[in-house]
Amino acid sequence: MDFTVYFEGAAQVFFAFIIGAIIGMEREFRSKPAGFRTMILICVGACLYTILSKEAANGSADRIASNIVTGIGFIGAGVIFKEGISVNGLTTAALIWVTAALGMAIGYHNYTLTIVVSVIVVVVLFILEPLQRFIERFHKVKDYRIRTGNLGIAFKMELEDFFNRNDFDFRCLKSAKDNQDAVYLYRVSAPDRNYTRVEEYLIGHKDVKGFDA
């Protein structure tokens, strides 16, 4: 029996373990839903499925690879959640997708491409974050979902008067009734990119039951 094949497969799985661990450390550090162990298991699992698909005698390697992508899609969808009007988890879901692809690349012996993509992923996660925060400082638009118990037009007029007095550009995107509350969705642009005044006003207003930004 030729044990070389088994040693080669074990080396591939171990390499997938290292790649998954490197990526997982960043997610664990930021306390994300898919952390250290999850990324390792995704990378190792994708690698193992790819190795097994190559050994399949019925020529189903392409089908197994496509099923890996489908299965990873379900895992990725599980870490995306909506909080108020914000959507969180998209970066983690994309990272799960990329980690599975890296595992598949290792399974196909494409080590050069694996290393290149892994470096790109590390750069995106660790180095480009300060650049993203710098760009976000110039983001002048913010959406507010405001819930109030005042069903009359008085609250809306008072709120828009506050925006006008503080030189905020604004637009009411949506207004609706939810049970006994009125819900307004406003898009607000602050000239100095300082939205603290808006949030302090909403927190202190007696008719505001809650808001999301």
Q: Is 48 exposed, middle or buried (0-12, 13-18, 19+ CB in 10 A)?
A: middle
pLDDT at 167 over 90: no
- Give tens-digit pLDDT for 15-70: 999 999 999 888 888 777 778 888 999 999 999 988 888 776 555 666 777 778 78
Please work out, in degrees rounded to the nearest 5, the angle formed at the alpha carbon of residue 187 by the alpha carbons of 182 and 193: 130
Architecture of the domain delimited by 141-212: 2-Layer Sandwich (3.30)
Q: Which of 9-13, 86-90, 124-128 has the lowest mean pLDDT?
A: 86-90
- Give tens-digit pLDDT for 87-98: 677 888 889 999
Average pLDDT over the chain, rounded to whole? 83
The ranges assigned to domains in the chain are 4-136, 141-212
pLDDT at 14 over 90: yes
Q: What is the pLDDT of residue 43?
A: 93
- Contact between residue 145 and residue 85 where contact means Cβ atoms under 8 Å apart: yes
pLDDT at 71 over 60: yes
What integer is the mean pLDDT of 105-131? Answer: 89
Residue 209 backbone dihedrals phi, psi, to 5 degrees: -85, -25
